Structure 1
Amino acid sequence: MATSEGELHELMEGQLAVWYAQQLAPENRGYSIAEYLEIPGAADSDLLLEAAQHRLRETESLRLRIRTVDGTPRQYVHDVRDYPIHNVDVSAEADPRAAAEAWMRADLNTPVELEGGPLSAQAVIKLGGDLHFWYTRVHHLAMDGLGGVAIATRAAEIYTALVEGRSPQDGAAPEPISVLFEAERSYRASADETERDRQYWSTALADLSEDVLAGHADRARRARVAPLRHTGAVDAPQAAGLKSAARSLKTNLAGLLITATALYEHRITGVRDVVIGVPVRGRSGHHLAAIPGMTSNVLPVRVTVDPTTTVADAVRQTTRALREGLRHQRYRHEEIVRDLKMVGRVLCGLHINVMSFDYDVHFGGLPATAHNLSTGPVDGIRIDVYDRSGMQININTNPDLHDPQSTAEVLDRYMRVVHWLAAAPADALVGRAELLGEVERRRVLVEWNATGAEVAVGTLAGLFEAQVVRSPGAVAVLGDGFEVSYAELDARANRLARVLLGRGVGPESVVGVCLER
């Protein structure tokens, strides 16, 4: 426990947003970030445990805890002794990989005690003499995805030093998390910086369309439970082709994929005022990037798209919105929503997170592969793209709005737009971006239009006369307190026909009919 009130710190703005969101959805297990490093080869289990313990000691964000003081959450760095490293051996199981994955899923689904409890957990899982998993789970209150990269890299450095008989202290241990706290305080204290950023977003998001202001109520709502996930992959040659296409359009892979997301949103919904969310660091400076902590923010990227927009213009708009928005990324998304008077609604129902970094980590010469299990809650749809020697693409959806089938369909349609964009010339019109596969195309063009039905041969007048003969007394018309039989309706029609004929009305004549409402 913290020994004095002086050790307590205010939560940063991003942490506060997570705190209150978790209070509103206490059953949502999606607020934890979880990954595991798959380490093939003859790794030393004892040294992995020692490395995990060392990383725990030097990484304060892994030991953050929350205490509520007078109704306000405060945070402090807890004692390392209360954080055991789980040592799990599933090597004797019939299917060690399945057993390891089940253990990690069970841990990820365990409720986190937000007030006073640990916000992180680690495990070294032995699947056999030549395979280990290093599992790490951290609540979003304590760390964001950028921190996950930093601690994975540091884990490999520590283990390698231990294997080589060097002191892990010689590596680049992270600075105290208080450095992030101070950077946040400095930004908040600078009225010029915060006002400049507020003005930028007020201008960039002025006059939003009603589709956006309505909060995407039918496509996004506050998540109550952990998201569904569907995973796909793009092999290395295809990924290289996408990067080459991006360069030809004067952008990078992230720019290409974010543009494709905007086009997907336009093609799916028909809206022309498109706003999508792009997760960003929410901090500036390389030295801050290396400190594990929770500062991530969501950048609203606004693009105007209609069927006559060209590929070049869509890419240009997206690139410009990203470039300019990144200069103002420390102004919180929650504040933008408040400024727009959209509290309680969702500004961006579709998010795209392109992580163009490879966990090129080696544990004493053994190459490790990172596997993500959870990246946070999802209110609508979030597309996570991992650029790791090929591309892994995770489609995460809110289960209140999607099922596994529709989640898989998002991936199929999105990738069609991506490949269309990569292959299209710069002057191609985005209204031609392809969404439908062969099965869906047949459903729309053939199955839904298979409306043929057997009908009687004859004219409407002839069919009516036949009905009069079959059942002259049956009710043909019902009104307010009256009924007209087929025989009576036929007689009335004949009388009207004779009147019209007497007035010169014949074939192709136009007759106005005046009726009461």
Structure 2
Amino acid sequence: LDGFLAALQQVVDRHDIYRTGVMWEGLPEPVQVVRRRAVVPVTEATLTDGGNPAAELIAIAGRWMDVRRAPLLRVYVAAEPGSERWVALVQVHHLLQDHTASEVVLSEVAALMTGRGDTLPVPLPFRDFVAQARLGVSRAEHEEYFAQLLRDVTEPTLPFGLADARGDGTGAQQARVMVDDSLAERVRERARGLGVSPATLFHVAWARVLAVLAGRSDVVFGTVLLGRMNAGVGAERIPGPFMNTLPVRMDVADTDVVGAVRAMQAQLAGLLVHEHAPLALAQAASDVPTSVPLFTALFNYRHSNRVRSDAPQSGDTRPGGVAGMRVLLGEDRTNYPLAVSVDDLGVGFGLTTGVVAPGDPELVCDLMQTAVESLVTALEEAPRTPLRAVEVLAPTGRERVLVEWNDTDRVVPEETVVGLFERQVARDPGAVAVEQGGVGVSY
């Protein structure tokens, strides 16, 4: 453990991004401040005998981090009662690190712990990439692009009615499924036939599902961009916040399936040019008030060598091949109340959904699988099928919604809804009848 902590501090010393804090108070815009020295805070905690070490450390550490203080990385350690094992929780803010960066960090920690630190490449200054991101495309060009995309959007897209985009992810429930192998093969074959990536098809399927969950045909959602595509030489081995979230828009009532795929392909290609644009700038280009989120659903298509899990996996290996260490748990959190991730495993696909109540993660996974299959079938057999006709409910789900939930073969009181309403008013005239945004309206 001591060797791991020492190596982690050396990684922070090597990379300026890990000595970063973000300041905004009293400034015209947020700025990145890099310290010459930033010590990784290490807190020793005490665990209960027989408890869950990972869950306890997470509870002790909490979810929030002060982004003004560098480094945006902290460690909590504890001796496991009844054993000689130590457990360490490493928390890193996503402002510093994406999945690629985490692999870079673990490989450097492994090299330093095994005496191979002299083989590590000279770290590249992250400020070079900051300059490229800020100077590559002008703010005016960003504003023009997003104005064309969003200028007539007046309402946010809120699946399940979820409007809070400032949470910490603690209330989200997760579900994971693997896409059927035969369907995965069909997705890749149809994508090749259309000259697009599988990511494009999954984005279209998600737009169709989101339209159902939000109860609107014209939807906007956030898509995660890698940010390293045009970052220059060395970007693949530099830690840092290359990734970005930007809006995608699709009107599912205004196109057929082939047109939707072509439009999505063009839109995703356009986003790559603006992959470093601030999300606040994109939202300002719409007519949605700045006090309201433009969207509360996040979509992330990512290439992965395995489906991520929040539970220990028998296949987990020691981080970086360091003897005496193994990964017990790894989890990502987001402020968005609904997040859907597609793991491209090279052959198959995994779906991961996290959503807060009243959303149902298993339902979202089911809807996505059905939509993907229905979309691929339409592309194969009837390319001019309207996108709005792509099914999102499997036969069992349709039976439940259309038949079981509409079974009215039962005795009801011989009284109207208005009459029931009047009786309630008589019982409690001051009771709240309608509540919206914390404001109640009495009868």
| C-alpha distance in structure 2 between counterparts of 1:170 and 1:153, whole Å | 14
| SS at structure 2 position matched to 1:329 | coil
User: Do structure 1's residue 434 and structure 2's residue 391 form an aligned pair?
Assistant: yes
The alpha-carbon distance between structure 1 residues 114 and 349, as it changes in their structure 2 partners (threshold 3 A), is closer
Aligned to 1:10: none
Decide whether the 8 Å contact of 1:215 with 1:345 is kept in 2. yes
> RMSD value over aligned CA atoms?
4.0
The alpha-carbon distance between structure 1 residues 350 and 196, as it changes in their structure 2 partners (threshold 3 A), is same
Q: Deviations over 1:419-462 (max 9, x none)?
A: 3334443425233433224553233222233223689xxxxxxx
Higher-Rg structure is 1
| C-alpha distance in structure 2 between counterparts of 1:393 and 1:315, whole Å | 20
Aligned to 2:200: 255
The alpha-carbon distance between structure 1 residues 82 and 297, as it changes in their structure 2 partners (threshold 3 A), is closer
Q: Given the two structures, how large is their TM-score scaled by the length of structure 2? A: 0.72
Note the 1:10-21 alignment, pairs <5 A: none
Mean Cα deviation higher: 296-305 or 251-260? 296-305
Aligned to 2:402: 445
Decide whether the 8 Å contact of 2:147 with 2:285 is kept in 1. yes
Note the 1:1-40 alignment, pairs <5 A: none
Note the 1:289-308 alignment, pairs <5 A: 290-306=237-253
User: Do structure 1's residue 387 and structure 2's residue 344 form an aligned pair?
Assistant: yes
Decide whether the 8 Å contact of 1:51 with 1:155 is kept in 2. no
Decide whether the 8 Å contact of 1:267 with 1:431 is kept in 2. no
The alpha-carbon distance between structure 1 residues 245 and 69, as it changes in their structure 2 partners (threshold 3 A), is closer
Aligned to 1:143: 96
Decide whether the 8 Å contact of 2:297 with 2:338 is kept in 1. yes
One-letter identity of the residue aligned with 2:174:
H
Aligned to 2:107: 156
| C-alpha distance in structure 2 between counterparts of 1:244 and 1:231, whole Å | 27
Aligned to 2:334: 376
Which of the residues 295, 303, 319 maps onto 1:356?
A: 303
Q: How many residues align?
A: 388
Which of the residues 205, 211, 215 maps onto 2:156?
A: 215
Aligned to 1:186: 135
| C-alpha distance in structure 1 between counterparts of 2:55 and 2:405, whole Å | 43
| SS at structure 1 position matched to 2:142 | helix
One-letter identity of the residue aligned with 1:346:
P
Which of the residues 387, 400, 409 maps onto 2:363?
A: 409
Aligned to 2:16: 60
The alpha-carbon distance between structure 1 residues 369 and 438, as it changes in their structure 2 partners (threshold 3 A), is farther
| C-alpha distance in structure 2 between counterparts of 1:136 and 1:364, whole Å | 18
| C-alpha distance in structure 2 between counterparts of 1:221 and 1:235, whole Å | 29
Q: Given the two structures, how large is their TM-score scaled by the length of structure 1? A: 0.63
Query: Where do 5+ consecutive residues of structure 1 fail to align?
Result: 1-44, 456-517
Mean Cα deviation higher: 223-232 or 421-430? 421-430
Mean Cα deviation higher: 314-323 or 214-223? 214-223
Q: Deviations over 1:75-119 (max 9, x none)?
A: 5334656324567898x9657xx322432354243x434444752
Decide whether the 8 Å contact of 1:231 with 1:392 is kept in 2. no
Aligned to 1:204: 149
1:277, distance to aligned residue in structure 2 (A) = 1.7
Q: Deviations over 1:141-171 (max 9, x none)?
A: x4252xx4223233224414643x43x1422
Query: Where do 5+ consecutive residues of structure 2 fail to align?
Result: 307-316, 413-443
Decide whether the 8 Å contact of 1:52 with 1:85 is kept in 2. no
Aligned to 2:121: 172
Aligned to 1:31: none
| C-alpha distance in structure 1 between counterparts of 2:195 and 2:59, whole Å | 42
Aligned to 1:311: 257
Decide whether the 8 Å contact of 1:229 with 1:394 is kept in 2. no
